[in-house]
Amino acid sequence: MRKTLKVLAALTLLGASTWAMAADLADDMDTISANYKTVLKTESTDTFKQSLQNMRAAATDAQKGTPPKLENKAPDGPEMQEFRHGLSTLIGQIDQSLALANQGKLEEARKVAQDFKQTRDTYHKKFR
């Protein structure tokens, strides 16, 4: 009886930790989305830069996660590598936009940020 309870407790914790990791990825994606909306609308350079920094942090954290569609795939398999590559592409775009914003070129930075949507659409089709 006691062993059964221990096994059930271990399975429950394992299941909960798997769910929590998926929630973290979803939270990161929500953070990226919410801040992207701000990037496209704000006229404040400081708000623009802060939102880009929030997006970058969330994208970096999301690279550690696994989308539900790839849960049964090898962690170092081609699908996961492509998933991480998509986030790396987004991070590069964010860095490019942030560099322009730091130079005071808000409109050019916003134009670069508009390309985030194409990156999102490409990788959402594959992994969402």
What's the CATH number where 77 sits?
1.20.120.10
| Assigned domain for 57 exists | yes
Q: Is residue 1 part of a domain?
A: no
The predicted-structure confidence for 73-95, as pLDDT tens digits, reads as follows 999 999 999 999 999 999 999 99
Residue 100 located in a structural domain? yes
Per the domain annotation, does 113 fall within a domain? yes
Rounded Cα gap, residues 111 and 90, in angstroms: 14
- The whole-number pLDDT of residue 12 equals 52
Which of 5-9, 46-50, 119-123 is least confident? Answer: 5-9
10 CB-near residues (< 8 Å, 6+ apart): none
26-48 pLDDT, tens digit each: 999 999 999 999 999 999 999 99
Query: Does the residue 2 lie in any domain?
Result: no
Domain enclosing residue 112, as ranges: 23-127
Q: Structure pTM? A: 0.80
Whether 4 is covered by a domain: the verdict is no
